[in-house]
A and B are shown apart, each in its own frame.
Chain A
Amino acid sequence: MELKLADYKSDLAPDWCPGCGDYGILSALQMALYKLKIEPSRAVLVSGIGCSAKTVHYAATYGIHTLHGRPLPVAQGVKLANPELSVIAMAGDGDGMGIGAGHFIGAGRRNPDLLYLIFNNAVYGMTKGQASPTLELGAQPKSLARPNIQNKVNPLMLAFAAGFTFIARGYAYDVKKLAHLMELGLRHRGLAMIDVLQPCPTYNNLHTREWFAPRIYDVAAEGYDPLVPREMSDEERAERMGRFTTKAGEWGERIPTGVFWQAQLPSFEERLGEYLPGYPADAPASRPPGGEAERVSALMRGHRVAQ
């Protein structure tokens, strides 16, 4: 039976605020899954806590709505146990860059084959608009009693430092381009991160659709090439890092989107496979049951007093 875009939509109607960027992200994700013909039952969406976390309930895939900050570990557990599944982790900016930031670094170091979306609206929406870790120093959206006195973290730069092999930024109101970025991220073998900029029409009156519209541009349109060859001279590496840093750090009058960095490195599953016989084809959740007694007997042999 041919898959339709509607097959990716659940029966539940979203309860986000009108104009929320989450609608665009959900649509883009459904489009990307549809475009790649990923069977809904072979896709697992894993979210944290907050407005963004409800996304998983609106897609007719498997959906796991975890705890605040923990989508990445749960997503990695699903993926490592059954590497045949397409796993998409998603987190709000507070979820991913605040309470769960440690996992961001841990996942980057491993490079599991996942797509990770950050819903970045610079505020904690569900708790009524507190400053998130991506809000600029000195900014004061209407929900804050005083200007933000903590500096912001740049998810792209942090992803680079942590070792993410696919680093991109999208914009929630440009659904078509965002879907295309997600498609690239899903095709990427390894950990793909997309920082998705989105307005919060209820609590963030600074980063509005009107504020973003004239600033957003696509790095690809300027001829930026994110592909990083496996082998590079020191000079070439320095040049590419410099280019990445310049683009990733650009914020203000112009805000770049698109793919900033894409490198081909062995995925975590492949690295594990070097030590665990049969993995990833033969994985803990997909292998047939049986063989336990033989495994214990093999372990016990090493403990025999006399052979």
Chain B
Amino acid sequence: MEDYTWRVGGPQGGGIETAATLFAQALARGGWWVSARREYHSNIMGRHSYLDVRATRRPTRAFFERVDLLAALDAETLVRHLGEVKPGGVLVHDPEAARLPLSKLAMLDSAAYRRIAVALGGGDPLVQEALERYRDEGVHLVPLALEPLAREAGEAAGADAITARKTLNTVAVAASLALLGYPLELLEGALEAHFAAKPGVAELNRRVAAEVYARVEPLKEGHLEPVGSPGKRIYINGSHASAMGKVAAGLGFMSYYPITPATDEPFYLEAHPESGVLVVQVEDELAAVNMAIGASMAGARAALTTSGPGFALMTESLGFAGLTETPLVISLYQRGGPSTGLPTRTEQGDLRFALGAGHGDYPRAVLASESVADNFHDAALAMNLAQRFQLPVIHLTDKYLASQTRTLEPFDVAAIEPDPGVQAREAAGVFPRFSLNAEGGVSPRIPVGTPGAGYWITSDEHDEIGHITEDPELRDAMMEKRAAKMDALKEWLGADAMYRAWNPGADILVLGWGSTGGVALEAMTGLDLGYIQVRFLLPFPDLEELISGKKLVVLEYNQSGQFAHLLTQETGRKPEHLIVKYNGRPMTIEEVRAAFEAVLSGTAPQYMVLRGGV
């Protein structure tokens, strides 16, 4: 096996996330490169949720729609994922589920019910129909009642019935790995590490895993073996990577108001005081942004994380940071909008919003991360840009990256230095904080509270020491000083930081931004296409020469083609094809490849919508 995808599906809150972590860790310990993605409803308990774990011999960038093994913890998973197990793949299911009619699946919403019922031939079909459909598609069915197995293995391991039920996740993982002939010791290692704080629980789960291995026969073929050692690899998600990047660049203060999917980052830092970050949960996003601005004015490196609805509330203060030249980083975890939209699903619908948020003209930088590792490096870069150019920086990322976990080599922290910014060497008495003698628009700075000096900061237009002014000449001078930062920032970054290009000599170039990069690159393997990942949306890189004479294809996660419009605005070029997805589900390698093939064969329309995903 070179490339294996395992999917576990079941009710939210039933611990399938633990199952995926255990499966991933067991493989990672055997030297596999592992990546996992999570799909879930905005719900605490009961609604359908699933995770994919992809294990490969080399690092990867994206996920497939079809999997090699589906471990279904409930009947709903069986019917929702029809057609998503590869021919020759494996379906582990509870045989008891077969006799249930679709209408008995309490958490199946009416839209899904109607669609699945039709797909299974109409009426109120039995789950058995779905099982037969899998069999017809060449899927190997493994009837394995996981709950009775948990009870049995748990009792054999000495647990009471309720405790035994809690080991269901371990049972699902152990059953899958036993079927695949994967060594039990590696799962035991994962269990010990996962339950390190609770040795009793670790021991019970270990015994349960051994009981399951004793009861489950390996499949005849398609086994997984360890491929090496994990070395120093880490297993990390996009939220934690983004948090670490900020810490590497000197983060000292983060205020937040809870919102999906942005809160994992401050919540993680709050739980880890060794980060040195002062984290404050506040009453609303207005407080969050203004508290961070205050901390930054006092000299702390301050950052925020939020999602669309929270960012909307922060916009007035974004202009406050812009006008008062206060360093501030906001990691904007995009999710399905508008309004509350699809709170737990991914989208790139906030690009135009990030570019224009807030009233009035002021400089800002907007960059977008492509991957989990990028979340680390871009968060650090955003912090340093904010510090150096004294402006707000919006770091765009999304739900897909937030809830994606991968094995990576440890981050090279020695390569990141917190930028000291432009500091005044001395200050006594009234200090010209907004001095017009400012190279690249950046006035030397001292923090509020610096002994022996003083100045003012106002949200009104102001003079060099920070007093309010409505003087027309001063107004022009201040607007021009601030605006000068954009050119200085672009020059400081250099073209290499602003975009990445793969095979740019190809006749057809795909352009994407943010998390579309990974899937675009995997999907175009072997195809005669080039790819441009635009990393900075503001300032925008100089792409005219690169794209001149090429046929252009834009790939993005929103309905209107926000990036395609930006490309036209910045380069005068309208892409020949726009491939979009806005159903909240991540793009899969299969559907993007099919779209690219259509482009190459000349059968693709100008506007294409990808509609895959559960």
Interface string of B424-463 (1 = CB under 8 A from A): 0000001000000000000000011111111111111000
In the complex, the answer to whether B413 meets A293 with C-beta atoms within 8 Å is yes
Q: Is the CB of B294 within 8 A of A46?
A: yes
B229 proximity list for chain A (CB < 8 A): 306
A238 in the interface (beta carbon within 8 A): no
Decide: A305 and B294 in contact? CB cutoff 8 A: no
Within 8 A of B (CB), among A52-94: 54, 56-57, 60-67, 69-70, 72-82, 84-85
Q: In the bound complex, how far is the Cα of B244 from the Cα of A238, in angstroms?
A: 49
CB distance from B306 to the nearest CB of A (A): 15
List of B residues within 8 angstroms of A72 by Cβ: 287
In the complex formed, the residue of A with least CB distance to B229 is A306
A299 touches B301 (CB 8 A): no
Q: Indicate if B414 sits at the interface (CB-CB under 8 A).
A: yes
What is the CA–CA distance of A12 and B467 in the complex, to the nearest angstrom?
A: 9
Per-position contact with A for B398-425: 1 when CB-CB < 8 Å, else 0? 0000000001001101101010100000
CB pair A300 B411 closer than 8 Å: yes
Question: Once bound together, how far apart are the Cα atoms of A84 and B451, in whole Å?
Answer: 11
What residues on B are CB-neighbors of A84 within 8 Å? 449
B156 at the interface (CB under 8 A from A): no
Contact of B448 with A44 in the complex, beta carbons under 8 Å: yes
A295 surroundings in chain B (CB, below 8 A): 247-248, 274-276
Whether B297 pairs with A74 at a CB distance below 8 angstroms is: yes
- Cα–Cα, bound, A72→B283 (Å): 12
A40-B454, A295-B276, A296-B413 as given contacts; A306 in contact with B298, CB under 8 Å = no
User: Min CB distance, A73 to chain B, in Å?
Assistant: 4
| Contact across chains for B454 and A299 when beta carbons are under 8 A apart | no
* Interface membership of A103, Cβ < 8 A: yes
Interface size class of B (residues with CB under 8 A): 35 or more
Choice from A12, A75, A285 contacting B299 with Cβ under 8 Å? A285
Contact for B247 among A12, A289, A296, A307, CB less than 8 A: A296
CB pair A65 B468 closer than 8 Å: yes
**Given known A40-B454, A305-B235, contact A284–B29 (CB-CB < 8 A):** no
Q: Verify if A137 is at the interface (C-beta below 8 Å from B).
A: no
Cβ-closest chain A residue relative to B316: A67
B297 touches A64 (CB 8 A): yes
Q: Which of chain B's residues have a CB closer than 8 A to the CB of A272?
A: 278, 280
What are the residues of chain B within 8 A of A284 when measuring CB–CB?
A: 252-253, 276-278, 295, 299-302
Pairwise interchain contact A80-B286, C-beta atoms closer than 8 A: no
Q: Report whether B234 and A304 are in contact in the complex, using a CB–CB cutoff of 8 Å.
A: yes
Interface segment out of the listed A138-146, A196-204, A205-213, A274-282:
A274-282
A305 touches B28 (CB 8 A): yes
CB < 8 Å: which of A56, A66, A85, A304 contacts B290?
A66
**B236 near A303 (CB under 8 angstroms)?**
yes
CB of B220 within 8 Å of the partner chain: no
* Contact status B278-A305, CB under 8 Å: no
CA distance in complex: A40, B448 (Å): 11
CB-nearest residue of chain A relative to B233?
Answer: A305
Of chain B, the residue at the smallest CB distance from A63 is: B456
Instruction: Chain A residues near B295: list those with CB within 8 A.
Output: 77-78, 80-81, 284-285
Q: Which of B290, B316, B413, B460 has the most CB of A within 10 A?
A: B290
Contacts of B244 in A (CB 8 A): 296, 299-300
Complex: how many Å from CA A39 to CA B298? 16
Q: Most chain-B CB neighbours within 10 Å: which of A105, A276, A305?
A: A305
For the complex formed, measure the closest distance between the CB of A80 and the CB atoms of chain B, giving whole angstroms: 6
Report the minimum CB–CB distance from B52 to chain A (whole Å).
19
10 shortest A-B CB distances, which residue pairs?
A77-B294, A284-B252, A106-B283, A284-B300, A73-B290, A74-B294, A81-B295, A285-B299, A65-B458, A81-B300
Chain A residues with CB under 8 Å of chain B are: 12, 39-42, 44, 46, 49, 54, 56-57, 60-67, 69-70, 72-82, 84-85, 102-103, 105-106, 272, 275-277, 279, 283-287, 289, 291-293, 295-300, 302-307
Please, could you name 18 A-B residue pairs with CB atoms under 8 Å apart, sorted by A?
A42-B451, A70-B286, A77-B253, A79-B294, A81-B302, A82-B447, A272-B278, A283-B252, A284-B252, A284-B300, A285-B299, A286-B299, A292-B247, A300-B410, A300-B411, A302-B272, A305-B25, A305-B407
